[in-house]
Amino acid sequence: MSGFVAPFVDLQHLRQWIGRESVQTDLVSEDLARKYHATFNHQGMAPRQGEIVPRLGHFCLAQPVAPTAGLGADGHPPLGRFLPPVPLPRRMWAGGAINFHGDLRVGDTVRRTSRIQDIMLKDGSSGCLCFVTVTHQIEANGVVVVEDRQDIVYRGPAAPNGVAKTPLPAERGVHWRKMKAESPLLFRYSALTFNTHRIHYDRRYAMEAEGYPGLVIHGPMQAALLCDYAAEVRGAPPRRFSFRSLSPLYDHDTFTLNARESGSALTLWTAREGGPISMKAEASW
């Protein structure tokens, strides 16, 4: 952080949130499994009682619930309770790393224990960045099934006249599939994850308040698409999966899911046509 000065972000105060925990419970219902199955156009029958649900389906479970009247201008629940009160207006899910110790099944009772692991500041090309690391431990019927590290990044407002660098276009994977994520898919995923961040469904807000050219495709939804693609390519779901967001995708973009062998693992990525890598992921078995 040499040469980095951000007097409006009190890191010492924010770091008091390290160690805070939140515990939520949920049920892997047939209704949720059916809706998740339909949202992603999975083939065959949706999982029924006792059957395995797809990897990263846990993103839909035990999410925090806040009254609508208490949501902030961006649609998020207010900060300062579990998550620290970072005074930067734009929040994104930057990436994560997940270890799967078993499978979630329809009918499981789930307990999610979330903990603030770390908080740090960095000097990015667009200014001050604040990273909050949250760990989630997912138990099903008292047994730890998933360990999940979530990286959240907070940024300042979009620069009105900023000159963006033109990144190199992404390569096409050995395995690839073209797709498009339009507003109905974004709406459904927001509903499944109880995510009220307005950049995913309120076009005017996304463009005028946060400076995006369209609705933003969820980072965790891209991760779920890549994880499903990894399972399809290898014929089995991965035991470990990590991902990092590098650039946004929007609802008007046609993009590709890509994969290539990387030793015993798979390297995966999303990219819009002619554009840079949006999300990069690693899957291993």
Residues 275, 169 contacting (CB under 8 angstroms): yes
The C-alpha atoms of residue 135 and residue 113 are separated, in whole angstroms, by 8
Rounded to an integer, the average pLDDT of 193-217 is 96
Residues 225, 40 contacting (CB under 8 angstroms): yes
The C-alpha atoms of residue 35 and residue 54 are separated, in whole angstroms, by 12
The C-alpha atoms of residue 248 and residue 114 are separated, in whole angstroms, by 26
> Please, what are the domains in the chain?
16-64+87-284 (3.10.129.10)
Residue 4 has pLDDT above 80, yes or no: no
Residues 163, 174 contacting (CB under 8 angstroms): no
pLDDT by residue (tens digit) across 208-251? Answer: 999 999 999 999 999 999 999 999 999 999 999 999 999 999 99
Decide: helix, strand or coil at residue 16: helix
What is the per-residue pLDDT for 50?
98
Rounded to an integer, the average pLDDT of 118-125 is 87
What is the per-residue pLDDT for 257?
98
pLDDT by residue (tens digit) across 22-71? Answer: 999 999 999 999 999 999 999 999 999 999 999 999 999 999 899 999 99
Comparing C-alpha atoms, which of 102, 87, 105, 99 is closest to residue 27? Answer: 105
Residue 277 has pLDDT above 90, yes or no: yes
Mean pLDDT (the chain) is 93
Give the pLDDT band (50/70/90) at residue 5: very low
